Amino acid sequence: MTDTVTRSIAHAQFTIEREVPVAPAVVFQAFADPTVKAKWFGGEEGWEQGEVSVDFEVGGREINEGTFEKKMTSRFVATYTDIVDNERLVYTYDMWLNGSHISTSVATWEFEPTTTGTKLTLVEFGAHLDGFDTGAQREAGTRDLVDALVNYLVAQA
């Protein structure tokens, strides 16, 4: 069988910062509680949810799969490597689109208390595989996801 995919790896890094008017414990809970996370993570119009499982502990895995407009199936599989309650999360994750492995990334989230709530800092390092996506595309999608988190948290204030 002949492989027609041109193999490549493109590396990318980005940082996203936001401030929210809630305490770090509220932000942390938005990740730690699967019911809460489901309210902001994914689920846009046209999204059909597939497999979801969350084992929120160091060494635990999270899986989130779904299909957008019956055309594109996205699969997110993360492994938590560091969790400090109300302060930080570190995880690695892999993404697939329609069965093709498109990336492996390391993501770090920090939750820093401020006088008015919490400063969120996300830093992500990615290896984008075989031209299926780019660092710029991932950053744009992640910014949308962070905005969804911020909107959820602001509504909780």
Higher pLDDT, 41 or 100: 100
User: pLDDT per residue over 110-130, tens digit each?
Assistant: 999 999 999 999 999 999 999
Q: Which residues contact 151 (CB under 8 A, 6 or more apart)?
A: 40
Contact 153, 20 (CB under 8 A): yes
Residue 1 has pLDDT above 50, yes or no: no
User: pLDDT per residue over 24-55, tens digit each?
Assistant: 999 999 999 999 998 898 667 778 888 999 99
Q: pTM for the whole thing?
A: 0.90
